[in-house]
């Protein structure tokens, strides 16, 4: 699996080795396409994990991961180091990070220890990994619709985007309780203030069982009506590595505290993808 460095950040990420086949999707799975797409894309870039030791019932002190040198990495193992990193993500103060085009601002807990990354085969607006061992991945994507103000238009657009990944990865999805928040897009100065719109958050727990890896992830994503004819999708994937409770707690913090505070900084859709 090849990797691509980000010259501006000397960072890399796990790569998609090939384009997933575009196989037909049964109608019964359409509603799960978006979340499966997040898992298929984000979970794959988290990387293949080695043997893990469960720390789910053990007390572990919060600690940031070691310095990320930005070199290629293939995920990491679990154990106390992963548990400590997850504890850090649960309690650390969050600071804003922006993409290269200064179009989106995302809060990240323990922001100095996140590295900006790129994903082969999954064009993104911006991506981050927490530690070289990929203790968590955050990514933002852009999809297009005719009218993103229509109910669920952005979510449906991401379902269409995610469809090719459904049959390329064996993903067992379990949906947790959904949530929602009111959110307002960036507007031009002098224009009438548009009312805030309802943005849904989908929180899931997924298990993959491909030839490449067998792992489970806590994940969440939100779909924002960000620009005219375009939607912003921001998602987080946290590998459990035999520590499901902590992974879920990190995921839940993102769903409650991070995703509702995503800011769009530009009126027009950014044109570059990485």
pLDDT digits 0-9 by tens, 150-198: 988 998 888 777 766 655 666 777 889 889 999 999 988 878 888 899 9
pLDDT of residue 152: 87
* CA-closest candidate to residue 138, choices 146, 130, 148: 130
CB of 235 within 8 A of CB of 138? Answer: yes
pLDDT tens digits for 108-135?
999 999 999 887 777 889 999 999 999 9
Which CATH number belongs to the domain containing residue 232 in this structure? 3.40.1000.10
Query: Whole-angstrom Cα distance, residue 212 to residue 214?
Result: 7
How many domains is the chain partitioned into structurally?
A: 1
Alpha-carbon distance values, 111 to 103, 123, 177, 184, 202 (Å)? 18, 23, 27, 24, 24
pLDDT of residue 41: 53
* CA-closest candidate to residue 134, choices 215, 225, 29: 215
Share of the chain above pLDDT 70, in %: 74
CB of 76 within 8 A of CB of 47? Answer: yes
Mean pLDDT of the chain: 80
- Has residue 58 been placed in a domain? no
Boundaries of domain holding 158: 33-48+77-264
Token duo for residue 87: 């504890």
pLDDT of residue 112: 96
Cα 16 versus chain centre, distance: 15
- Has residue 65 been placed in a domain? no
Q: Which residue has the higher pLDDT, 6 or 235?
A: 235
Query: Whole-angstrom Cα distance, residue 141 to residue 274?
Result: 10
- Has residue 236 been placed in a domain? yes
- Has residue 60 been placed in a domain? no
- Has residue 269 been placed in a domain? no
Categorize the per-residue pLDDT at 82 as very low, low, confident or very high, splitting at 50, 70 and 90. very high
- Has residue 200 been placed in a domain? yes
- Has residue 27 been placed in a domain? no
pLDDT of residue 113: 97
- Has residue 19 been placed in a domain? no
């Amino acid at each position: 699996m090849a990797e691509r460095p980000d010259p501006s950040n000397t960072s890399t990420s796990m790569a998609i080795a090939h384009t997933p086949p575009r196989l037909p999707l049964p109608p019964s799975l359409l509603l799960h396409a978006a979340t499966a797409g997040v898992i298929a894309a984000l979970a794959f870039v988290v990387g293949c994990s080695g043997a893990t030791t469960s720390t789910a019932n053990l007390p572990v002190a919060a600690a940031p991961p070691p310095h990320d040198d930005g070199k290629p990495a293939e995920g990491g193992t679990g154990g106390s180091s992963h548990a400590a990193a997850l504890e850090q993500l649960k309690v650390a103060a969050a600071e804003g990070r922006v993409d290269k085009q200064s179009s989106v601002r995302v809060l990240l807990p323990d922001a100095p220890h996140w590295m900006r990354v790129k994903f082969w085969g999954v064009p993104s607006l911006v991506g981050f990994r927490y530690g070289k061992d990929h203790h968590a991945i955050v990514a933002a994507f852009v999809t297009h619709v005719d009218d993103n103000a229509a109910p669920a238009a952005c979510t449906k657009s991401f379902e269409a985007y995610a469809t090719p990944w459904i049959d390329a990865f064996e993903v067992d999805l379990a949906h947790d309780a959904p949530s929602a928040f009111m959110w307002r897009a960036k507007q031009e100065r002098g224009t009438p203030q548009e009312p805030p719109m309802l943005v849904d958050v989908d929180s899931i727990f997924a298990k993959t069982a491909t030839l490449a890896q067998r792992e489970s992830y806590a994940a969440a994503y939100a779909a924002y009506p960000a620009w005219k004819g375009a939607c912003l999708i921001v998602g987080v994937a946290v590998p459990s590595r035999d520590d499901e409770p902590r992974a879920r707690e990190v995921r839940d913090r993102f769903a409650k505290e991070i995703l509702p505070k995503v800011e769009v900084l530009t009126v027009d859709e950014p044109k570059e993808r990485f």
